[in-house]
Structure 1
Amino acid sequence: MRAAAGIWRWRHNPLRRATDLAEAWLALVTALLLLTAGPVVGWLTGTLTDAYLRHSVRIQRQQRHATTATVLGPATVARPAALDPESAAASEQRRTVVAQWTAPDGTRRTGTLTTGVPYARTGGTFPVWTDGSGRIVPRPMEPATASVHATLAGIGAAGAFGVLVECARRLLLWRLVRRRFADLDRAWAAVGPDWGRAGAGS
Structure 2
Amino acid sequence: MRAVAGLWRWRHNPLRRTTDLVEAWVALTAAVLLCLAVPLAGWAAGASANASLQQSVRAQQRERVPTVARVVRSADPAGERSAELAGEQRLRPAVVADWTAPDGSRRTGTVTTSREHARPGDMFPLYTDRTGRAVTPPMAAGTARAHALIAGLTVALLVALLIETARRTVVHRLVQRRYARLDRAWAQVGPDWGRTGTGS
Please indicate, yes or no, whether the TM-score normalized by the shorter chain is above 0.5. Answer: yes
SS in 1 for 2:58: helix
Per the TM alignment, residue 44 of structure 1 is displaced from its structure 2 partner at its CA by 0.7
Structure 2 counterparts to residues 98-177 of structure 1, below 5 A: 98-117=96-115, 120-177=118-175
- 1:117 is displaced (CA, Å) by 4.0
Matched, 1:21 2:21: yes
Q: How far off is 1:183 after superposition?
A: 0.7
Q: Deviations over 1:148-198 (max 9, x none)?
A: 111111111111111111111111111111101011011111211221113
Give, in whole Å, the separation in 1 of the partners of 2:164 and 2:146.
Answer: 27
The 1:41/1:93 distance shift into structure 2, 3 A limit, reads: closer
Letter of the 2:50 partner, please give it: D
Query: What runs of 5+ residues in structure 1 fail to find an aligned partner?
Result: none
Q: Which stretch has the larger CA shift, 137-146 or 108-117?
A: 108-117
Query: Within 2, Cα distance between the matches of 1:94 and 1:16?
Result: 69
Give a deviation string over 1:48-93, Cα, whole Å, max 9, x none.
111111111111111111111111122225322xx45xx5554444
SS of the aligned residue for 2:93 comes to strand
Aligned positions, number: 197
Structure 2 unmatched ranges of 5 or more? none
The Cα offsets for residues 127-166 of structure 1, whole Å up to 9 and x where unpaired, read as 1111122111111111111111111111111111111111
Q: Is the 8 A contact 1:74 1:98 kept in 2?
A: yes
Residue 95 of structure 1 aligns with which residue? 93
RMSD of aligned alpha carbons:
1.8
Structure 1 residues 99 and 88: CA distance shift in structure 2, 3 A: closer
Inter-partner Cα distance in structure 2 for 1:139 and 1:36: 39
- The residue that corresponds to 1:68 in the other structure is 68
Matches within 5 A, 1:75-86: 75-76=75-76, 78-80=80-82, 83-84=83-84
Change (3 A) 1:200 1:100: farther
Equivalent pair of 2:66/2:125 in contact (CA under 8 Å) = yes
> Equivalent pairs: percent with the same residue?
54
1-structure distance, mates of 2:175, 2:27: 14
Question: Is the CA contact 1:119–1:126 (under 8 Å) kept in the aligned structure 2?
Answer: no
Query: Does the 8 Å CA contact 1:194/1:200 hold for their aligned counterparts?
Result: no
- C-alpha separation between the residues in 1 aligned to 2:127 and 2:146? 23
| Secondary structure of the structure 2 residue equivalent to 1:32 | helix
Q: Distance in 2 between matches of 1:44 and 1:160?
A: 13
2 CA distance for matches of 1:135 and 1:193?
A: 88
- Please state how far the C-alpha of 1:200 moved relative to its aligned partner: 7.2
1:118 Cα deviation from its structure 2 partner: 5.4
Please name the residue that 1:34 is paired with: 34
Shift of 1:116: 3.6
Q: Distance in 2 between matches of 1:16 and 1:149?
A: 49
- The answer on whether the counterparts of 2:90 and 2:116 sit within 8 Å (CA) in structure 1 is no
TM-score by length of 2: 0.91
The 1-side partners of 2:67 and 2:184 are apart by 81
